[in-house]
Amino acid sequence: MEDYVLVTRRVFRETIDYLKENFKVVDNQKDTILSGEKLRKLMRDAVGVQSSTNDIIDGPLLDKCKKLKVVCNTAVGYDNIDVAACTKRGVMVTNTPGVLNETVADYAMALVLSATRKIPQGERYLRQKKWKKNSLTYPLSRDVSGGTFGFMGFGRIGQAIAKRALSFDGKVIYHCRNRIPPSQEKKYQAAFVSKTELLSSSDIVVLILPHTNETHHLIGADELNIMKRSATLVNMARGGIVDDAALIRALREGDIYAAGLDVYEDEPNLNPGFLELDNVVLSPHLGSATINTRQEMAMRAATNLVAALSNGDPPDLVNPECLKSS
Ligand code: DGY
């Protein structure tokens, strides 16, 4: 069978055209969800895959894909891919860093504002025709300006959100595995603090870190208990970093003030408990979803695919050690 690359979800025409200049392409422009069996069938003889965050690429699947050389995720996050399993089999993995920072940061601030200022609740109140008078005391929300923004994770996207927080006169504190250099801390007026200090002193906690074995359920019942009852939690990172059942309980009990969520455990299968709560703003993983940014992400993934298969040196390789094991 002739070598081909697989594009697992619908992408923009120019991306498919670009790939077709270089390879035979099997694509899924119908955008159907490729179940495990379908994905296995389509990937079995592919030399490269342009994947999406819904595609679970693990060891058993890789064992069926003997020709596979590269998996190019159309996202900066890649927790849908077992990178160690790819490395072991000499399969390169790439992501799309850089191109989405500002877009995701805009959306993070939108969730901070929506959840803390209760913007969707206000709109619902109006649409439900409950707005009969302008009251001085109802409905009320909380201030964003001047608050303490605590970042769990402080990479490129976290820093782009911090830039926005500063323009709201916010105080910036952060916690992450590797402290950033002093010059960067100065740029964002950011103080490195312990996880406990961050949780106990932030008015707005922003999660913007990768989902790994170490960060799974980083925010559970204990952490939510440490947070201020007046605090807002925003998750722009990945489902699984938060224990959703614990968050639902905390929101229901009023242990924290509000949450703004773009990601969930087992998405798109949302825990129905969220739908019963009025103090959470729910968004279906749209942080990077602007036309320009999604076009750039798709082209970036395709560029990685072409480079990986033509010279073995894709610009956004996340597992360079795979080159040694192949
Ligand atoms: C990312 O790039 O990781 C985004 O979450 C994808 O939508």
Taking only the tens place, the pLDDT of each residue in 162-203 is 999 999 999 999 999 999 999 999 999 999 999 999 999 999
The pTM of the full predicted model, rounded to 2 decimals, is: 0.96
SS3 assignment, position 106: helix
Average pLDDT over residues 263-279: 97
Residue 156 C-alpha from the chain's centroid: 13
Q: Kindly indicate the confidence band of residue 326, based on its pLDDT and cuts at 50, 70 and 90.
A: low
Q: How many angstroms separate the CA atoms of 243 and 245, rounded?
A: 6
Query: How high is the mean pLDDT of the chain?
Result: 97
**Is the model's pLDDT at 325 over the cut of 60?**
no
Q: How many angstroms separate the CA atoms of 122 and 117, rounded?
A: 9
Average pLDDT over residues 273-299: 98
Count of CA atoms in the C-beta half-sphere (13 A) of 49 = 29
The closest alpha carbon to 110, from 288, 275, 242, belongs to 288
- Tokens linked to 7: 């594009």
Which amino acid, one-letter code, is at 262?
Answer: D
* Backbone angles phi and psi of 245, in degrees to 5: -65, -40
CA of 75 to the centre of ligand 1 (A): 4
Domains within the chain, CATH numbers bracketed: 4-98+291-324 (3.40.50.720), 101-282 (3.40.50.720)
Q: Atom 3 (ligand 1): residue with closest C-alpha?
A: 77
Residues flanking ligand 1, CB < 6 Å: 53, 75-77, 100, 285, 287-288
Q: How many angstroms separate the CA atoms of 249 and 259, rounded?
A: 12
Q: Kindly indicate the confidence band of residue 1, based on its pLDDT and cuts at 50, 70 and 90.
A: confident
Average pLDDT over residues 308-315: 96
CA of 184 to the centre of ligand 1 (A): 24
Which amino acid, one-letter code, is at 243?
Answer: D
By most ligand atoms within 8 Å of CB, the mutation choice from 53, 55, 102 for ligand 1 is: 53
Q: Atom 4 (ligand 1): residue with closest C-alpha?
A: 75
Average pLDDT over residues 36-55: 95
Tens-digit pLDDT profile for residues 117-161: 999 999 999 999 999 999 999 999 999 999 999 999 999 999 999
